[in-house]
Amino acid sequence: MEAPGSLSTALRRGTLEFCVLALVEQEEQYGVELVRRLGAERTLTTSEGTLYPMLARLRRAGWVETTWRESPSGPPRRYYALTQHGRAALRHFREEWAAFRTTVDRIVGTRAA
């Protein structure tokens, strides 16, 4: 049997990249900003060491594109934005997630004692 912490790790691993896609769908963001936004959500806290390889995978998959911009403080920043393929992937995830969540809630949901 898995420890409770490993369950949240498995759930996070399966959904984190789609949470990142949803964040960059709203507006272009740079890596540290994404780490901060995810860190504000207790169950999605992640590190730069996890996020940057994921962003590279999303870029190679064609789901995000990047642009470099000057930073008001420090070196230029790489901003991430959703591509059309990324929008399609996120839309598909949302459809699948809704069906999956409904099924799990129905099966695992609170039952009267």
- Asked whether the predicted pLDDT for residue 101 surpasses 60, the reply is yes
The pTM score is 0.84
Question: What is the C-alpha to C-alpha distance for residues 66 and 24, in angstroms, rounded to an integer?
Answer: 11
Question: What is the C-alpha to C-alpha distance for residues 59 and 95, in angstroms, rounded to an integer?
Answer: 22
Side chain identity, residue 28: E
Mean pLDDT is lowest, of 2-6, 19-23, 54-58, 90-94, for 2-6
Please report which confidence band the pLDDT of residue 3 belongs to, taking 50, 70 and 90 as the band edges: low
- Asked whether the predicted pLDDT for residue 1 surpasses 60, the reply is no
Positive/negative CA dihedral, 58, 63, 68, 71:
negative
Question: What is the C-alpha to C-alpha distance for residues 52 and 46, in angstroms, rounded to an integer?
Answer: 10
Q: Where along the chain do its domains lie?
A: 4-108
Matching CATH number, 4-108, of 3.40.640.10, 1.10.630.10, 1.10.10.10, 1.10.150.120: 1.10.10.10
The dihedrals phi and psi of 103, each to the nearest 5 degrees, come to -65, -45
Please report which confidence band the pLDDT of residue 12 belongs to, taking 50, 70 and 90 as the band edges: confident
The predicted-structure confidence for 58-88, as pLDDT tens digits, reads as follows 999 999 999 999 988 889 999 999 999 999 9
